Structure 1
């Protein structure tokens, strides 16, 4: 299953997993200095087994015509009402909530979250990730950043250092000890979030955590962790969903179609509906911190205008 939510953590049986935890608040800190690239190392035997497992998962998904990349078509029509409902479902709720100090999978209402500062995406790889995979993934993140900037109208770019949205593509061995790296990039992260990320089961493919330091809906930092053992299509699906979720579309909905924000993994890349929702999220008529009730009439007007122009 693929779970999503602002600062949430997601997993999905034998399909792409994506989630988040729930925005936490503490003062921002300066970006950490860049680290030198580690010397290449061999993929461990365990990572090789995990990679073989995920290869079978991707083959199964493709045999079922999942992980589509067409963005939707005649078989996936949607109107303004569906667009508005879907936006409200993914932007104003989260998959995980706090219950007595523990993270539980329970859908909870949330305020609108988005970035105010320019988003600078910095991608870092584990030592065992091959040069070829690094080049492919860097190119994928760069293409996605340009697409997201166009969809949102917000400054979004890739950088080699000084990022405020970190994408970590790491193997099993490195992820199990990733706590210090997460703490350096997100000083406000809690130990329970670190524990979840370090102990992911195979059903969880990727995770994103985003920070709203003042608890006002304004995101300032994010970290996405993606399994390097994933084959190309599953890895690209994680890149698309986790970065988009880290921008503020924090949940999944079973009614989201055509959309990557759906646990069914029908789509493996952002769709036309997803781009509409990202544009709505960053429309100046909405503001960070709004709740669903206050935003609903504005969202409905935007959905009518978007679908009228497109269809």
Structure 2
């Protein structure tokens, strides 16, 4: 069966945007994308705005970037992690079972090719490789573009990616080393189900997206090229989750990768053989996990996954997506869940209901925020929902509410390295401050946000559109 791993459109700014995958949140800009859920900056040009750019944004500051990241810590037992490892490693995202364990053997080499390599890619890739070596214990080294490598990262225009794989932000495929090879290959040659040993693969990343989108592609696709090919909605602290909340590798992800390359495992092992060795591996790598008791999480039924996929997609009408989100909420409640899956169902319903039923939107988003805020492990999820609620608060002139929501959410956005979310929260906070007469404080917050917006949204046009739209929210 033909299957290549890919990061669907919208993942870049996660909950900050509207979806094709989620995304990972994909909006047009706050007024349109965050509240109404109508497309993404990458899928369409910046919205036309009859207003003028705010004077404070006419000269944008230098782009800010994350020189280090503070990934979410691991908060569950080794027995739970073992179940996650097996479900991640022995199944594809489409439900296809894998009969054997696969990974690279020996030192891994990586190169970057492409006619136009974004300036941000190199520094972000260096940070990621350093983390993979130190945190996951993977012997991976970057080599010159002219040298044959196990992993080839090739950059190309997103329009090229879209022609081959619509609605994808980036792709990882086995058994090839170039885009030409990808286009010429038969589907059977690109099937992960047929891979018995990882030796050569390629990652294709757009060269004309925001720096954050490019970085997120690096993290998600390199993680899948090295380790698990599946995603699980039940994971609240991992990039291996189709909700695409997390976009940079967490401590859990690094532990999964470190276990993948443990000397106890080898290519060709069955699920049962790996399962026998995992307890000792995890006890060695994560001794604290042996002292934690994590309740078993119920499996995710396919009907819920299908409804969430429809709700996040762009192939149907907003009303059809909203109906799918309602069904997902009903399924979550029928299952008795009170975890990220219920929170995500409510989040989708809230986003998709703003234009049709404000009361329903506010109630759904408020419930999602309560679910996420109840756990330290989902503070970052709560920050995404807080942006939606703070935007509604601006519209309703509840400026104190907007200030409270944004101030509480900003640290989680920063710790997770989400510049798009951070900038949007800061701009929303600035408008709330301006509205209650704290103009000088608002100006400082606004100016500080613009450097992050340049990393999160990319072009000056997108940044200026974002500032206009959030300012318009507060003036409606």
CA distance in 2, matches of 1:216, 1:206: 20
- Are 1:171 and 2:169 an aligned pair? no
Report what 2:107 is aligned to: 118
Higher-Rg member (1/2)? 2
**Unpaired stretches in structure 2, ≥5 consecutive residues:** 13-19, 22-39, 48-68, 177-188, 292-476
Of residues 206, 218, 239, the one that matches 2:218 is: 239
Report what 2:386 is aligned to: none
**Unpaired stretches in structure 1, ≥5 consecutive residues:** 1-5, 19-48, 57-68, 96-104, 177-197
Query: Secondary structure at the residue paired with 1:167?
Result: strand
- Are 1:211 and 2:175 an aligned pair? yes
CA distance in 1, matches of 2:46, 2:168: 15
Contact 2:108 2:141 (8 Å CA) reproduced: yes
TM-score (structure 2 length as normaliser): 0.43
How many residue pairs get matched?
Answer: 225
Q: Tell me: higher relative CO, structure 1 or 2? Use CA pairs within 8 A at least 6 residues apart.
A: 1
CA distance in 2, matches of 1:309, 1:11: 32
TM-score (structure 1 length as normaliser): 0.63
CA distance in 2, matches of 1:284, 1:88: 17
Contact 2:108 2:150 (8 Å CA) reproduced: yes
Of residues 84, 92, 95, the one that matches 1:94 is: 92
CA distance in 2, matches of 1:149, 1:114: 16
Moved over 6 A (4+): none
Structure 1 position 137, deviation (Å) = 0.2
Structure 1 position 79, deviation (Å) = 1.6
Report what 1:99 is aligned to: none
CA distance in 2, matches of 1:54, 1:140: 26
CA distance in 2, matches of 1:80, 1:262: 19
Report what 2:243 is aligned to: 264
CA distance in 1, matches of 2:264, 2:287: 18
More strand by share: 1
CA distance in 1, matches of 2:99, 2:206: 28
Query: Secondary structure at the residue paired with 2:110?
Result: strand
Taking a change above 3 Å as real, the CA distance of residues 94 and 297 of structure 1, as seen in their structure-2 partners, is same
Query: Secondary structure at the residue paired with 2:286?
Result: helix
Of residues 134, 137, 146, the one that matches 2:130 is: 146
How do residues 160-309 of structure 1 correspond to structure 2 at under 5 angstroms? 160=144, 161-162=146-147, 163-175=149-161, 198-201=163-166, 203-211=167-175, 217-309=196-288
Contact 2:114 2:154 (8 Å CA) reproduced: yes
What do residues 221-248 of structure 1 show as CA deviations (whole Å, max 9, x unaligned)?
Answer: 0100112233222221110111111113
Contact 1:86 1:255 (8 Å CA) reproduced: no
What do residues 6-63 of structure 1 show as CA deviations (whole Å, max 9, x unaligned)?
Answer: 9623343633589xxxxxxxxxxxxxxxxxxxxxxxxxxxxxx96474989xxxxxxx
Contact 2:137 2:258 (8 Å CA) reproduced: yes
Contact 1:240 1:270 (8 Å CA) reproduced: yes
